[in-house]
């Protein structure tokens, strides 16, 4: 069974033939690749073709596919029982590890996804401040929570409009969407909606309009503005948590949020999310307080075991220096390939995550990202795919380097890019 036949079969049973939209390849064209297995930095398709993977399941596979120790930890946990709907010791251990890595976490609650963590963090923020409005930034994705699937209003400081069918307009109007990196817009919003804004939620390093970096002082400015206006600052570290360092972006930046959401790496590649923050805020969550949030599979023992082993390996092997070195090597090669091909490519990166934008730089917000040539990226993606290199199947996504990528993989990728960019 090959990918083309599997996709045709899938469309008869699954919505669009997939279980998450970007997998359908609508943004890049062609038939989605169906994966049979993965090992290290590679996966093998249904046809038996091996690809160098720079998607890494959208970030959690910092050690690559099927790292032996992580797989063993999950298998051992499964043999003891897949789920209990009751407390286990490993949940406590994982929460303790997260607290030790991120001092901003006074108390933690485990969930089954990043979306669930964000949804819950917003609920707690609104309860703590007794306010309804939330500021988010255009291009930052925080999962498919209804109140955050919101486009900017008709004016820069108006309440939002639904960005997805099925989202009630009343819910969208609890969200103010502003340009990323525009601190003055945040200040104006606080002035216009004085005493009504519960929280500002932000990806400290954006990964969901492609990689976009914060301007100097932007995150520090958000911290100052939220404090001044008695609102909470929420860092969405679902992607950046344990990706850039052992801890979160907040560890590198020195900016302490009130609440943090996490996912991806902390589950070792299995479904996992978490949110946490100051004890006085998190004490509002049931059973300590009136904010209700629950989940049958929250703290699932198999995912927790995989997450604990991943964190153990990160502490033992401390791969961040090597990840930085191999990412720099790859990006230098890609930049030289683009320059030689006279291709208009802007590369943004943060640690081991990066994006090739097919447009003029600098790319510092969604408006700039949207000016990029998505069709050109689609052609680049398909040319790379034919050479056995799998990049994210959308221009506005982050690519990830893993600890398992070696020089042979990187050199092959650079050679493939030279060919792919030629005449593009």
CA distance 321 to 147: 38
Kind and range of the H or E element at 381? helix 374-386
Band (156; pLDDT cuts 50, 70, 90)? very low
Q: What would the CATH number be for the domain defined by 68-316?
A: 3.40.640.10
CA distance 264 to 238: 6
Domains 3-62+319-421 and 68-316 share a fold: no
Q: Which of 51, 141, 275, 377 is catalytic?
A: 141
The pLDDT tens digits for 135-148 are 999 999 999 888 78
Q: Which of 53, 236, 365, 409 is catalytic?
A: 236
The pLDDT tens digits for 273-290 are 999 999 999 999 999 999
Q: Which of 51, 136, 258, 264 is catalytic?
A: 264
264 is annotated as an active-site residue: yes
CA distance 91 to 18: 31
236 is annotated as an active-site residue: yes
Whether the upstream peptide bond of residue 287 has omega within 30° of 0, thus cis, is yes
Tabulate helix, strand, coil % of the chain (nearest 5).
40, 15, 40
Given this model, what pLDDT does residue 148 score?
Answer: 82
Tokens for 291, please give them.
């904010």
The pLDDT tens digits for 291-340 are 999 999 999 999 999 999 999 999 999 999 999 999 999 999 999 999 99
Q: What is the 3-state secondary structure (H, E, C) of 324-367?
A: HHHHHHHHHHHHHHHHHCCCCCEEEEECCEEEEECCCCCCCCHH
Band (152; pLDDT cuts 50, 70, 90)? low
CA distance 398 to 421: 19
End-to-end CA distance of the chain: 32
Given this model, what pLDDT does residue 171 score?
Answer: 81
3-62+319-421: which CATH architecture? Alpha-Beta Complex (3.90)
316 is annotated as an active-site residue: no
Residue-range domain boundaries for the chain: 3-62+319-421, 68-316
């Amino acid at each position: 069974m090959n990918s083309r036949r599997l996709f045709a079969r899938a469309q008869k049973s699954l919505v669009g033939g997939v279980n998450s939209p970007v997998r359908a390849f609508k943004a890049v064209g062609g038939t989605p690749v169906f994966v049979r297995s993965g090992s290290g930095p590679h996966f093998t398709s249904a046809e038996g073709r091996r690809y160098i993977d720079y998607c890494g399941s959208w970030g959690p596979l910092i050690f690559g596919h099927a790292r032996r120790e992580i797989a063993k930890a999950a298998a051992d946990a499964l043999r003891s029982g897949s789920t209990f709907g009751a407390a286990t010791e490993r949940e406590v251990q994982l929460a303790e590890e997260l607290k030790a890595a991120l001092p901003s976490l006074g108390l933690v609650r485990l969930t089954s996804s990043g979306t669930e963590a964000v949804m819950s963090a917003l609920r707690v923020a609104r309860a703590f401040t007794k306010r309804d409005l939330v500021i988010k930034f255009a291009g930052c994705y925080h999962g498919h929570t209804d109140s955050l699937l919101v486009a900017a209003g008709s004016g820069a400081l108006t309440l939002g409009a639904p960005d997805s069918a099925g989202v009630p307009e009343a819910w969208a109007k609890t969200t103010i969407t502003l340009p990323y990196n525009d601190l003055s817009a945040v200040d104006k919003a606080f002035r216009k909606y004085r005493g009504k804004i519960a929280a500002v939620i932000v990806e400290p390093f954006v990964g969901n309009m492609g990689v976009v970096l914060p301007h100097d002082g932007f995150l520090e400015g958000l911290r100052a503005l939220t404090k001044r206006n008695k609102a909470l600052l929420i860092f969405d570290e679902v992607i950046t948590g344990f990706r850039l360092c052992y801890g979160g972006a907040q560890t590198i930046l020195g900016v302490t949020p009130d609440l943090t959401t996490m996912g991806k790496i902390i589950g070792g590649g299995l479904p996992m999310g978490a949110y946490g923050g100051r004890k006085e805020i998190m004490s509002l969550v049931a059973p300590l307080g009136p904010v209700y949030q629950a989940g049958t599979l929250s703290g699932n023992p198999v995912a927790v075991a995989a997450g604990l082993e991943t964190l153990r390996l990160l502490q033992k092997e401390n791969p961040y220096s090597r990840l930085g070195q191999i990412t720099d090597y790859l990006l230098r090669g890609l930049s030289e390939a683009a320059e030689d091909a006279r291709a208009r490519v802007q590369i943004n990166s943060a640690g081991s995550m990066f994006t090739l934008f097919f447009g003029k730089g600098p790319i510092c917000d969604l408006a700039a990202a949207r000016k990029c040539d998505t069709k050109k990226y689609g052609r680049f993606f398909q040319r790379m795919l034919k050479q056995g290199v799998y990049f994210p199947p959308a221009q506005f996504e982050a690519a990830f380097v893993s600890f398992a990528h070696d020089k042979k993989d990187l050199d092959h990728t650079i050679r493939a890019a030279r060919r792919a960019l030629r005449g593009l």
